[in-house]
Structure 1
Amino acid sequence: MDANQQELTKMMLQATLLANLALLKEQMPAIYDVFRDYTPSDTGVAIDEASNINLYNKDKFVYQENPKDFAHKQVAEFLAEPLYFKFIIQHQDDDSIVFEHAALLKSIYNVRKAETDNKINNPAEEKRLDFVCVLGGGLGYQIEELFNKKDVLNVLLFEPSKDTFYALLHCIELKPLFDKCTANGGQFSIRVGGSEDGVINEISKILFENGHFNISQVLFLKHYDSPLIEKTVERIRGIGHRWAAGWGFFEDEIIGISHTLANLNAKFPVLKKPELVNNSLRQHPVYIVANGPSLDSAIEFLKTNQNNIIIISCGTALRALLSNNIKPDIHIEMERTAGLLEWVESINRTSGLTIKLDEINIIALNTVYDNILKRFKSAHLLSKVNDAGGRLIRALDTKKQFTYPDYSNPTVSNTALATAIELGFEDVYLVGIDLGFESKEHHHSKHSIYFDNDFKHKKVVEKGIEGAFVVKGNFTEEVFTTSIFDSSKGNLELLLQKNLNVKVFNTANGAFIRYTEPKHIKDINDIKAIANKQDRIASLLNKATSLEQLSPYNIESKMDVIKSKTKYALEQLLAYTSVSFNSREELADIFNIQNKSLLTLKNGNADDIVVYWLIQGSFRYFQAYIMTSSYYYSDLEKRAGFINACVDAFNEHMKGIYLEFIENYNKPSKI
């Protein structure tokens, strides 16, 4: 390359940089602010001996061949054998299915299995790729080549190095790539630097904004190896399942509404904001006790010190404590189905217990069955934030006095920690919150119902443990865990990250929980006496809860509005899919529009948000599963027929569940 050509190349590189900066200023101002006056430290774009535009790092060129040729080969290899994440649903056995949504999802699976070989050969063979994560930008030529070979709807570009991304800004024009995505209703997102968790969160954000049906196949184009990219891939393998966790179904929310109304009718008061509560016990430590295997080694400590520590029991840990004559100060429940009553009543059937349920205070999520709460000494409600019943309370709360903590599920340990923080406690010990186990045979406390000879749910528990995987341990190098335990751990960490003023010690020999300090229970000493503990707990719960604004008239008036708005929203949403689809791409485009319409409810007024939480989970699950199942069909005509049959069945399902809602919202739940 002569001097004139070299100068011309440099001018083109500069022009590309300026064009990209202009785009970033308009579309991604936060990234623009980083790179508008950027000076690279050790990596930059340069012209190599073969006159190729190359990446220069630590006194040598990164690409050992023409970077464009390398990119073309890489894309060809990616399209032939992509790395991808697939959405999966674990179906129940037929005799265990109670809900209509579970039956319909299983029927979709059965049809797919009967009509195909039940395998996805290569999702990159699709006419359009709906979601591609590019891990490592390099000079960006692989992204251009991907767009030359395929239509792409959503892209996330993750470049760990700021220097390398700055080099990329000189080499490819981003605007045509942005425009292609947005023209199809998708988006082109960029993340530079940060952590592997930042990538996970960015993917979650894209799925939320553009529809979780895009989780059906998320493809990963890895451009180069780096420690952070490898950690990102491993993190996705480890916790990618959280992207599809806890959406709930319309039928679940009907139960939640029914139980919420029954609890309010029973005059169970709702927990107020922490700033409205003066907790005179806040300086005393709270021991949150769950039913993990390590509870067994903590029993003697709890028994010896119970008069001078505050004990909050979680779910099935209650019987383990009572069997050892340990009385919790507050019990926590969070499961919504009435079937939980059987577990609670097993305590009354346990011989030799001297402490009765009617001597114990309970705080439960608003969704818990009222006949459970009525068995306790005093009952109080914690509003579940991402829940139709919790949002109903919020819609009634015009004075904004109640509290709505994030991360109160998916397990009762999450509810308990959220409750302790909302009550104002700042010194917390986790006991038996293992969220994992060293041995698959010792998965809960030996004192609990799980090890009773006549426990009839043994097979269900054992099946949940079959898919256990390994995570970092609290005191040991690693322990087994399950998807639900891992999701619980993730939400505990998110809650603690928001409340760094709360000091939390983890005494459990289970999964390591970030933002906690590992501490063996035998090393806890210097326990100060608590005078009049029971009276002070009762006073705290009385001050911390209220029924103001929750009169029967206010509730029924609000429900009339909710029923009407739900009908209107479903008519609008189902109208989008009341058409015939010729391809998977057409379905994805309509699902995208449907998702945007759902999000307008989420961003609406308090009543709209109740409607959103009533129906959003069913739309997300069925969109994702119908889309996932469509990939199993290589015969495009059969695929279209399958898609239309699934969508029609879903539309009828939602109409039927709406009728169930308006007929049964204020009646006892069916399960």
Structure 2
Amino acid sequence: MTFLEVLKSQNKEKIEQEISQRFIRNMEYFRRTSPDLFDVLKSEPIDYNLLFDEKGLNIINLKTGELSYPSNADGHQMVNVCEELSQSPIANPKWKIYTNHIYLDKMDTSKLPITGKVCNEFIDLLHKHGGIKEYYLSRSFLPSTNIFGLLGGMFLEFIRERGVFFHSLLIFEENIDMFRVSCYFVDYEKLFENVSPKSCYLFVKDLIDKFFVRSFFSQKKITNNFLRLELKLYSSPKLDASKQVIDEEYASNSRGWGSFEDEIIGVQNTLKNISFDANAYPVLNLPQRVNAPICVVGNGASLDGLLPFIKENQDKMIIFSCGTALKPLKAYGINPDFQIEIERIDYLKDVLKEAPLGDTPLLCANMTNPEVLSLGKESYIFMRGGSSSGYLYNSKSVIEFSAPFVGNAGFALACQLGSEVLLCGLDCGYIEGLGKHASHSYYGQEGFVLPADASRVRGNFDKVVYSDSIFLLSIQNITQAIKTFNPKMALNLGEGAYIEGARATRPSEFDLVKIKKKKLVSQIKSYFTSKTRMAFNDVRTDFYIQEISDFRDELKNMFQTNVKNKRELFALIDEVNSICAKKSFSSPFVGIMFEGSLAHMSQSLMIASLHLDRDDVEAFYTDAKEVIKEALDRMMFKYRLSIPLRQK
């Protein structure tokens, strides 16, 4: 008999024996795998307990006597309700499906000639193999699944017992008594076996840890990024806060992937910007902190209200203007000490001319368009982490957490160059009633426009603030920069999003002292060496050709794996993502160059497969892998063409 059949049998002795044995097995399992949880589960229930009387099974609130499930003349309805909850989760209205605002649309191949061509060909293949408008998954396979509140978890066991395999599973149960009740029903050891390796996360009692949630999404960055199934059985402050963490991490996971095409532009620009002759631009090398606060200025809407503070205190702090913040600063009579730029785009030079840049020194990421560096009367270079070209020649000083915005780069630099960091206009979101950027900036006058995927986040002060996926990624990286670089103090003066680790502070709440600014700015400049060869550990002329070729072959071999169904395809995509992530860690110049485009290709492959009206994807995948293998060869060819002939 199945567990559901036992529970419906009305044989009280048999039911009692079954659930008691399950509880004993679960306690033994947690004793082996999670001793702390085991110890807590041994305690006597305080809030909730399992009720098993003549009317059947239910959960009782020990303080109020209230029941968690309905009860009527036919008895307690826990089994019936959970049976209904377990039916076809993908099509069950009690469950919610998220798709991260990603659609299977054709890409612009003028900007992404290799990546876009592959993704577009998958759409053509989908039509060839009889694709449908809806998503289709077999009854035995569920995508990334999040459950908030188990209410005994009986429904989860019904799903598991049907042989359903979860690609990844995250469970949050805020009450230890409620989780203890679930141990009478859910066979946790078997549940973990029915989830992909290292993909079942269980949070009991405590608030969800952002680090573990980030790991949950990043370990399966692509397959956890699109189709997400969610069940939230009730609301509470703790559950709602946990759900917000999940939603934010889910959203930020979809951004910052990059592409091979962008990475190649970055490599080409870097090779032009960094030279080893007497006229080379100075490169950041082993920076130290100066004893002065650095004010990092972004072009968020809240900058308008902070311009008086910046002007009044410009002799008491070093000012880093980030991107298009330059124009409103100059218009207000403020002369930044450095203008930070990171963009590869060619029209950036026109933006700087319009500001105008004037005598302000440029501090540019290595991949910045060379025409931009030529505008500066003084131009300096830092190696920007997160981009393939930032690791060329194995720099001694790579500035990590410098994405996705120029403000992130400015902040990461300030954390390593100043004793304290002040954030002005790094709003990381949309302030209700205001435009996205400061007034009188390059973008002109703007109204309040909220993107479709924006959600409300905690404001730094009392304004209503929303962030979308890319702003959430920006917040994430600023927070990580604070934790990693540990400046003495980080103060957030803006009206935008709250940033963990940066103290929300009004300008009126502190005073700055006069500094020897000219001397300190010169000290910062001294950390950039014109003897550029000194800034790198491995100035090589082979340009990783053999390593890139070997990695290309490894990826091609990976795609030779036989794939028959969607579960196997999801597993393969995870393996490809893992290989790319490992390569990006061990050899970032090589790994990051491929990682973004492989992510986009894999995601398009996954989404296309979901639109097939059957679980058998073997014929579709056989065609698709040839498209990917051809693209990898084209990438290799493109890279060879990008290397200067004199250095081949």
Would the TM-score normalized by the shorter structure come out above 0.5? yes
- Look up the SS of the partner of 1:297 in the other structure: helix
**Equivalent residue for 2:521, pick from 537, 549, 553:** 537
- Look up the SS of the partner of 1:23 in the other structure: helix
1:390 aligns with 390
Per mean C-alpha deviation after superposition, the further-off stretch among 658-667 and 548-557 is 548-557
Note the C-alpha offset of 1:519.
3.9
- Look up the SS of the partner of 1:363 in the other structure: strand
The 5-angstrom pairing of residues 411-490 of structure 1 reads 411-426=405-420, 428-438=421-431, 442-451=435-444, 470-490=456-476
Q: Which amino acid aligns with 2:268?
A: S
Q: CA RMSD in A?
A: 3.9
1:191 aligns with 203
- Tell me the alpha carbon deviations over residues 352-396 of structure 1, each in whole angstroms, 9 at most, x when there is no partner: x5x62xx33333333323442343344444433333223345xx3
* Counterparts of 2:567 and 2:125, CA distance in 1: 21
Note the C-alpha offset of 1:419.
0.8
**Equivalent residue for 2:572, pick from 579, 582, 590:** 590
* Counterparts of 2:285 and 2:115, CA distance in 1: 35
Task: Give the 3 Å change call, closer, same or farther, for CA 220–40 of structure 1 in structure 2.
Answer: farther
Q: Which amino acid aligns with 2:313?
A: N
Note the C-alpha offset of 1:618.
1.8
Preserved contact between residue 578 and residue 648 of structure 1 (Cα < 8 Å)? no
Preserved contact between residue 303 and residue 326 of structure 1 (Cα < 8 Å)? yes
**Equivalent residue for 2:232, pick from 200, 222, 234:** 222
- Tell me the alpha carbon deviations over residues 600-636 of structure 1, each in whole angstroms, 9 at most, x when there is no partner: 4356xx43x4322222222222212221232223266
2:315 aligns with 307
1:160 aligns with 174
Match status 1:614 vs 2:622: no
Task: Give the 3 Å change call, closer, same or farther, for CA 233–418 of structure 1 in structure 2.
Answer: same
Q: Which amino acid aligns with 1:297?
A: G
Task: Give the 3 Å change call, closer, same or farther, for CA 55–269 of structure 1 in structure 2.
Answer: farther
* Counterparts of 1:87 and 1:500, CA distance in 2: 33
Note the C-alpha offset of 1:224.
4.3
2:46 aligns with 42
Note the C-alpha offset of 1:238.
5.2
Q: Which amino acid aligns with 1:175?
A: E
The 5-angstrom pairing of residues 250-649 of structure 1 reads 250-265=260-275, 267-272=280-285, 277-279=288-290, 282=291, 284-335=292-343, 337-339=344-346, 342-348=347-353, 356=358, 359-393=359-393, 396=394, 401-405=396-400, 407-426=401-420, 428-438=421-431, 442-451=435-444, 470-498=456-484, 502-521=488-507, 523=508, 526-531=511-516, 533-543=517-527, 550=534, 554-557=538-541, 559-560=542-543, 562-578=544-560, 581-602=563-584, 606-607=586-587, 609-634=588-613, 642-649=620-627
- Tell me the alpha carbon deviations over residues 320-375 of structure 1, each in whole angstroms, 9 at most, x when there is no partner: 3233442211221122x242xx223443356xx5x62xx33333333323442343
Note the C-alpha offset of 1:212.
1.7
1:80 aligns with 91
- Look up the SS of the partner of 1:216 in the other structure: coil
Higher share of residues assigned helix:
1
Percentage of matched positions with identical amino acids: 21
* Counterparts of 2:23 and 2:455, CA distance in 1: 45
**Equivalent residue for 2:252, pick from 227, 242, 245:** 242
Preserved contact between residue 213 and residue 620 of structure 1 (Cα < 8 Å)? no
Preserved contact between residue 273 and residue 403 of structure 1 (Cα < 8 Å)? no
Task: Give the 3 Å change call, closer, same or farther, for CA 535–377 of structure 1 in structure 2.
Answer: farther
Task: Give the 3 Å change call, closer, same or farther, for CA 95–601 of structure 1 in structure 2.
Answer: closer
The 5-angstrom pairing of residues 45-84 of structure 1 reads 45-50=49-54, 52=56, 54-59=58-63, 60=65, 61-64=67-70, 65=76, 67-76=78-87, 78-81=89-92, 82-84=95-97
Note the C-alpha offset of 1:303.
3.3
Structure 1: gaps of 5 or more residues: 453-457
Note the C-alpha offset of 1:564.
1.2
Q: Which amino acid aligns with 1:415?
A: A
Q: Which amino acid aligns with 1:657?
A: M
Preserved contact between residue 68 and residue 151 of structure 2 (Cα < 8 Å)? no
Q: Which amino acid aligns with 2:575?
A: I
Q: Which amino acid aligns with 1:496?
A: I
Preserved contact between residue 216 and residue 625 of structure 1 (Cα < 8 Å)? no
Preserved contact between residue 139 and residue 171 of structure 1 (Cα < 8 Å)? yes
**Equivalent residue for 2:29, pick from 23, 27, 38:** 23
- Tell me the alpha carbon deviations over residues 13-40 of structure 1, each in whole angstroms, 9 at most, x when there is no partner: 66544533443455xx4x3333236424
Per mean C-alpha deviation after superposition, the further-off stretch among 566-575 and 381-390 is 381-390
Q: Which amino acid aligns with 2:423?
A: L
Preserved contact between residue 463 and residue 496 of structure 2 (Cα < 8 Å)? no
Per mean C-alpha deviation after superposition, the further-off stretch among 495-504 and 213-222 is 495-504
* Counterparts of 1:366 and 1:545, CA distance in 2: 14
* Counterparts of 2:484 and 2:296, CA distance in 1: 19
Note the C-alpha offset of 1:664.
0.5
Note the C-alpha offset of 1:429.
2.4
Note the C-alpha offset of 1:659.
1.3
* Counterparts of 2:27 and 2:171, CA distance in 1: 16
Note the C-alpha offset of 1:449.
1.8
- Look up the SS of the partner of 1:191 in the other structure: strand
Q: Which amino acid aligns with 2:146?
A: C
Note the C-alpha offset of 1:651.
2.5
- Tell me the alpha carbon deviations over residues 413-445 of structure 1, each in whole angstroms, 9 at most, x when there is no partner: 11111111111422x322222333446773322
- Tell me the alpha carbon deviations over residues 544-582 of structure 1, each in whole angstroms, 9 at most, x when there is no partner: 76867658994224x44x321221122122223246754
Q: Which amino acid aligns with 1:529?
A: K
Task: Give the 3 Å change call, closer, same or farther, for CA 304–63 of structure 1 in structure 2.
Answer: closer
Preserved contact between residue 87 and residue 624 of structure 1 (Cα < 8 Å)? no
Task: Give the 3 Å change call, closer, same or farther, for CA 325–657 of structure 1 in structure 2.
Answer: same
Note the C-alpha offset of 1:256.
2.7
Preserved contact between residue 186 and residue 210 of structure 1 (Cα < 8 Å)? no
Task: Give the 3 Å change call, closer, same or farther, for CA 166–326 of structure 1 in structure 2.
Answer: same
* Counterparts of 1:551 and 1:445, CA distance in 2: 37
- Look up the SS of the partner of 1:48 in the other structure: strand
Preserved contact between residue 399 and residue 412 of structure 2 (Cα < 8 Å)? no
* Counterparts of 1:278 and 1:596, CA distance in 2: 36
* Counterparts of 2:307 and 2:185, CA distance in 1: 64
Per mean C-alpha deviation after superposition, the further-off stretch among 465-474 and 615-624 is 465-474
Per mean C-alpha deviation after superposition, the further-off stretch among 138-147 and 104-113 is 104-113
Preserved contact between residue 133 and residue 219 of structure 1 (Cα < 8 Å)? yes
Q: Which amino acid aligns with 1:570?
A: R
Preserved contact between residue 329 and residue 534 of structure 1 (Cα < 8 Å)? no
TM-score w.r.t. length of structure 2: 0.83
Note the C-alpha offset of 1:129.
1.5
Per mean C-alpha deviation after superposition, the further-off stretch among 409-418 and 294-303 is 294-303
TM-score w.r.t. length of structure 1: 0.80
Task: Give the 3 Å change call, closer, same or farther, for CA 347–373 of structure 1 in structure 2.
Answer: closer
* Counterparts of 2:448 and 2:127, CA distance in 1: 26
Q: Which amino acid aligns with 1:288?
A: V
1:455 aligns with none
Note the C-alpha offset of 1:410.
0.8
- Tell me the alpha carbon deviations over residues 288-318 of structure 1, each in whole angstroms, 9 at most, x when there is no partner: 1111223233334433432333211001112
* Counterparts of 2:500 and 2:608, CA distance in 1: 36
Task: Give the 3 Å change call, closer, same or farther, for CA 23–541 of structure 1 in structure 2.
Answer: farther
* Counterparts of 2:553 and 2:54, CA distance in 1: 63
